């Protein structure tokens, strides 16, 4: 089994389960944050699921490392660090920028013939081939940048907005992520082959319903779209419902592994 504890690109909590995991859920955070985006997900997964959260440089425990400002370079580097950990059936979940990274890593794996996710879950993000209607903002002054981020997305806690020192720590990573997104230009490529579940908030102007349904053009497999009441960060207020959706997607993977163990006479 892969050793996730030695990989600084992944954050996980030690499992208290007696038996080894049978499936793995990789979670990709949104712009400017790290594993803390999914801190309340730990301890909520079904037995047999290993939760691994992507830990990018330039934030939280890796805040002293330079952030990536180029999406292609980020995806190439991240994919290389994830490859050893696809020893179990796995699912990708990404929110907002995390949806872009998760999708691009899936494309990279598909192109190289590596294992691909059993399921890709994208959240709070319009389909990748759709143009961004808003003007760039990574070049704005700090005050302008923060105001525009808050207007477009919200999500920056009031306590951080009021703390200039804390905000100064957050901004470099957030700026780098926004720059990576603004320079990101997906080209026409073969469709993915894995099923996609698309989640979004009914009041999210960044990812309206028609843009969520446009993900159907990204894969040859089934696509399911589900929306929840809320804005861009609906997944915080609707965490229980979102987790139920994720668990339902993971459930068949656990059942398959249990069946295989029974066939070969192994403990599940």
Q: Which amino acids are annotated catalytic?
A: 96
**Distance between CA atoms of residues 170 and 178, nearest Å:** 13
Element (H, E) at 50: strand 49-54
**Distance between CA atoms of residues 165 and 96, nearest Å:** 26
**Distance between CA atoms of residues 132 and 99, nearest Å:** 15
Q: Give the dihedral of Cα atoms 252, 121, 88, 264; nearest 10 deg.
A: 10
**Residue 189: what are its φ and ψ, rounded to 5°?**
-140, 165
- Say if residue 149 is exposed, middle or buried (CB neighbours under 10 Å; 0-12, 13-18, 19+): buried
Strands 49-54 vs 10-11: parallel, antiparallel or unpaired: antiparallel
């Amino acid at each position: 089994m892969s050793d996730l504890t030695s990989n600084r690109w992944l954050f996980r909590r030690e499992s208290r389960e007696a038996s080894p995991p049978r499936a793995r859920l990789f979670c990709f955070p949104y712009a400017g944050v790290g594993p803390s985006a999914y801190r309340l997900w730990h301890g909520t997964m079904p037995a047999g699921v290993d939760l691994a959260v992507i830990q990018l440089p330039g934030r939280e425990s890796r805040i002293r490392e330079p952030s990536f400002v180029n999406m292609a370079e980020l995806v190439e580097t991240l994919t290389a660090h994830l490859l050893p950990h696809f020893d179990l059936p796995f699912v990708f979940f990404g929110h907002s920028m995390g949806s872009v990274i998760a999708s691009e890593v899936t494309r990279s794996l598909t192109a190289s013939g590596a294992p691909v996710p059993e399921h890709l879950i994208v959240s709070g993000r319009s389909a990748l081939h759709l143009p961004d209607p808003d003007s760039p903002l990574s070049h704005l002054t700090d005050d302008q940048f923060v105001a525009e981020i808050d207007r477009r997305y919200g999500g920056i806690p009031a306590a951080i907005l009021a703390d200039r020192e804390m905000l100064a720590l957050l901004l470099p990573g957030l700026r780098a992520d926004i720059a990576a997104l603004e320079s990101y230009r997906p080209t026409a490529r073969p469709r993915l082959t894995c099923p996609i579940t698309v989640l979004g908030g009914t009041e999210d102007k960044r990812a309206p319903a028609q843009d969520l349904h446009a993900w159907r053009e990204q894969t040859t497999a089934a696509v399911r779209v589900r929306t929840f009441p809320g804005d861009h960060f609906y997944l915080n207020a609707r965490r229980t419902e979102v987790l139920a959706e994720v668990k339902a997607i993971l459930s068949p993977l656990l059942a398959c592994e249990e069946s295989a163990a029974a066939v070969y006479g192994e403990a599940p």
